[in-house]
Amino acid sequence: MLLTTISEIPLVQKVHQLEKQIGNTPLIPIRNVFWKKDVQLLVKLEWQQLGASVKTRPAFNIIKSAIGRGLLHQGIRLLDATSGNTGIAYAHISAVLGIPLTIVLPENASKERKRILKALGVELIYTSKFGGTDEAQEKAQDLATKYPDLYYYADQYSNPANWQAHQLTTAPEIWEQTQQKITHFVAGLGTTGTFVGTSKGLKAFNPNIQSIALQPGTALHGLEGWKHLETAKVPAIYDTTLADQHLEISTLEAYNYVKQIAKKEGLLVSPSAAANLAGAIKVAKQLDKGTVVTLFPDDASKYGEVLQQLF
């Protein structure tokens, strides 16, 4: 038996300590961009947690469950393909836990993101800009198959711990913060974890809650984090039985809301956050009475190139 020093706090205990910094984000009313008597529009500010995005919830749960099953520890590299928030979330968490991290991403990922990942000590492997995130996923899968002792491949698109994070945390938070009054939940589809897990969790509290799934209107779009399911690989975790309604949001609509949310609500949000609000407003307009809830997955701080064009 090895003697442990203070710095060698057991991994499980570190995970437990970190849990306090995940989720528990504020739910705030939107009153200026949209207002209708008897209809409440509420959004969760998901950047107000460790890692500054909604993806900290699934990243933490994926890591926690892999550690719990003995698949991940300080002697193996966490591996996934992501050019966005999930990579950044893994990076914050694995830095604290002392788990080495490898991220596969297309070479045309933004400089801002590469810089954040490098600063947090992540090993980056680039794939061609012509192959998009699908090629990055294939590369990660290849590495995991070739070197099973070196990597734990998290695979957020197929890992049930992704959506379960939202069932366990996002859904009960919304239920309590609305004092059980939520009638409609609206969210865009990326890995689909947010929509699937939160919808499942909320419908377990009250099966009458309606879930509205949002997608970009076109195959190529500017809504980072979202997928056009008709042309993209449909994530294995997607559950087609959950959506009561589907709506399409265009990039242009979302960008207009980025501007309005900044000017009227005092919040600088990401394109996908604005797109979520665009969807929620479409839903709210159809109602005479109700409580509509959506999320702002992150703020605008990682979208310098978008802001430069809009303002």
Ligand X SMILES: Cc1ncc(COP(=O)(O)O)c(C=O)c1O
User: Where along the sequence are the contacts to other proteins (CB under 8 A)?
Assistant: 83-84, 105-106, 108-113, 129-134, 217-222, 224, 228, 230-232, 251-252, 255-256, 259, 270-271, 302-306, 308-310
Which of 169, 191, 251, 291 is in the footprint of ligand X by CB under 6 A? 191
Report if residue 51 touches ligand X, rule: CB under 6 A.
no
Report if residue 84 touches ligand X, rule: CB under 6 A.
yes
Quick one: CA torsion of 32, 35, 37, 42, rounded to 10 degrees?
-80
Cβ-based nearer residue to other proteins, 104 or 182: 104
Sign of the four-CA dihedral 229, 54, 117, 123: negative
Report if residue 225 touches ligand X, rule: CB under 6 A.
yes
Report if residue 188 touches ligand X, rule: CB under 6 A.
yes
Residue 245's DSSP bridge partners are 212
Binding partner of residue 193 among ligand X, other proteins, none, CB under 5 to 8 Å per kind?
ligand X
Which of 25, 61, 65, 85 is in the footprint of ligand X by CB under 6 A? 85
Dist CA 130 CA 20 (whole Å)? 40
CB of 115 to other proteins, least distance (A): 11
The site for ligand X (CB under 6 A) is made up of 53, 55, 84-85, 188-195, 224-226, 270, 272, 297-298
